[in-house]
Amino acid sequence: MTHPLSRTLVGAAAATLALVLLTDAAHAQFAVGTRDLSLTNTTGQGSASIAVRTHYPAATAGSNVAVLPRQGGWPVVVFLHGFTAQGNNYGLLCRDLAAAGYVVVAHNTMQFDNQGQEYDGRAQYPALVALNATAGSPFAGALDMSRAGLVGHSMGGGNVGNVLANNPGFRCGIGLAPVPPRGNNGALVQVPMALIVGTGDTVTPLASNTQPYYDGLTAWRGVKVLYVLNGEANHTNVPGYALFGTASSSPSYERAKSVTLGMLDAWLRGNSSGLENVVGPTARSETRLVSLSHQWQSPAVWAAGPIRVGLTTRVSMGSEAGACGALAAATFAPNPVPTAFGDLMLDGPSAYVAFSGIAGAEKRYDGSVAVPNDVALVGVRVPLQAYGTVGGALALGGITELVVAN
């Protein structure tokens, strides 16, 4: 269904709206630099010095080259390796995430110590905050530690949950072919989470590892996701692991990478279009997909792709089954406005219902927006806020902006 959101686009052609999210339209592919560092652990638990290999956007590829400057710094991904492995064994994934605009920090400590890896994972956050604030360091001012995520494989995937149970500041977590967290730690995780596994995994099988991990996440925020690939996806190709050299890409790796990037984009960049590759029709169109389970704690809205002049683009609302939609307005509110349904993030007097429908079994409703063929609309921004059904009641949810491109 095409809603009259285009009238807002026409009316806003001359308006300048405040940008409240870090939105990157599509992934520019950056050259990737690498640098080995030793981070000082000040927590008193784990390694006194944490050896890491960093992958980061650079002007030219190479070892120990300068980080490409970016105002406010780059979003950060800390990567936790599997049992017996090192971060160096995941060069394919680390480079691909860095090429997409993330500083990736993969640790090379605690190959055989599960508890120790948890401690080092927690310690990396304050260590990176200190590194970013140290004048003369190669990453001084280059890290946006307010936008940091945690990714791990196998033992490291379980430790994503263990670290987030005592979260030092990470905004989302992703487990690739993970073992479960220890004890009841999954129930303490309070950030968006995605778990990715293949039915070909005989090391950490779905039924005894990833499924109970997902079921044990009871306090997550935003969304929790369980993405299950078929028998082609095994314990090593999902994360792009290689014991020696660099792993070769595979369809299983590429899909797992797409889900991972979608989560990172949505929760670290504020680019809600990343959800298309996590829970949207694109995620569901994967021919190797066996099942996709997810639950919403907060409704979300995202566009399937760039909003362009003269084209119609699908816009999706995610919520639990029931009524859902999105509000539009001329601008965002300067401060959240409390309501009976949660905080309204839009300008109240100009807000109206842009989309409305019913989320079904896939926990999603699709609308569309048609942009008139008028180049004067390029650059116009239209704020949206999702609403939907959570716990049987309507609730306001996440925000995004439609930004018109040529």
pLDDT for position 234: 98
Q: Judge whether 343 and 371 are in contact, CB under 8 Å.
A: no
pLDDT for position 26: 53
Q: Are strands 31-40 and 49-58 parallel, antiparallel or unpaired?
A: antiparallel
Instruction: Provide the CA 182 distance to its chain's centre, in angstroms.
Output: 24
Q: How many CA atoms lie within 13 A of 268 on its CB side?
A: 31
Query: Residue 102, Cβ neighbours under 10 Å: how many?
Result: 27
CA distance 169 to 174: 15
Identity of residue 140: A
Please check the confidence at residue 150 and state whether its pLDDT lies above 70: yes
Give residue 27's pLDDT band: very low, low, confident or very high (50, 70, 90): low
pLDDT digits (tens, 9 = 90+) for 185-220: 999 999 999 999 999 999 999 999 999 999 999 999
pLDDT digits (tens, 9 = 90+) for 342-396: 999 999 999 999 999 999 999 999 999 999 999 999 999 999 999 999 999 999 9
Give residue 17's pLDDT band: very low, low, confident or very high (50, 70, 90): very low
pLDDT for position 246: 84
Q: Judge whether 229 and 257 are in contact, CB under 8 Å.
A: no
pLDDT for position 281: 96
pLDDT for position 8: 47
* Burial classification of residue 383, based on how many CB atoms lie within 10 Å of its CB (0-12 exposed, 13-18 middle, 19 or more buried): buried
CATH of domain 31-269: 3.40.50.1820
Q: How far apart are the first and last CA of the chain?
A: 23
Q: In b/e form, how buried is each residue of 273-301, taking b as 16+ CB within 10 angstroms?
A: bbbbbbbbeebeebebeeebebebbbbbb
Q: What percent of the chain has pLDDT over 70?
A: 93
pLDDT for position 11: 37
Higher per-residue pLDDT: 162 or 270: 162
pLDDT digits (tens, 9 = 90+) for 215-250: 999 999 999 999 999 999 999 999 999 998 888 999
Which tokens is 344 given?
Answer: 């309204």
* Burial classification of residue 37, based on how many CB atoms lie within 10 Å of its CB (0-12 exposed, 13-18 middle, 19 or more buried): middle
Domain ranges for the chain: 6-21+299-405, 31-269
Instruction: Name the nearest CA neighbour of 303 among 354, 345, 337.
Output: 354
DSSP string, 263-331: HHHHHHS--GGGGGGTTSHHHHT-TTEEEEEEEESS-EEEESS-EETT-EEEEEEE-EEEEEEEEE-SS
pLDDT for position 135: 94
Class of domain 6-21+299-405: mainly beta
Instruction: Provide the CA 180 distance to its chain's centre, in angstroms.
Output: 20
pLDDT for position 28: 75
Average pLDDT, the chain: 92
CA distance 298 to 345: 14
CA distance 235 to 201: 5
pLDDT for position 319: 96
pLDDT digits (tens, 9 = 90+) for 301-311: 999 988 999 99
- Name the β-bridge partners of 268: none
Please check the confidence at residue 10 and state whether its pLDDT lies above 80: no
Instruction: Provide the CA 109 distance to its chain's centre, in angstroms.
Output: 25
Instruction: Name the nearest CA neighbour of 387 among 338, 336, 320.
Output: 320
Helices within 55-164 (DSSP H only): 91-99, 114-133, 155-164
Please check the confidence at residue 9 and state whether its pLDDT lies above 60: no
List Cα–Cα distances, 349 to 203, 333, 352, 400, in angstroms: 56, 10, 9, 19
* Burial classification of residue 13, based on how many CB atoms lie within 10 Å of its CB (0-12 exposed, 13-18 middle, 19 or more buried): middle
Identity of residue 318: G
CA distance 395 to 397: 6
Place of tokens 């590892």: 209
268 CB-near residues (< 8 Å, 6+ apart): 75, 77, 102, 147, 148, 149, 171, 172
Which tokens is 246 given?
Answer: 């660099």
Identity of residue 191: V
CA distance 366 to 352: 18
pLDDT digits (tens, 9 = 90+) for 51-108: 999 999 999 999 999 999 999 999 999 999 999 999 999 999 999 999 999 999 999 9
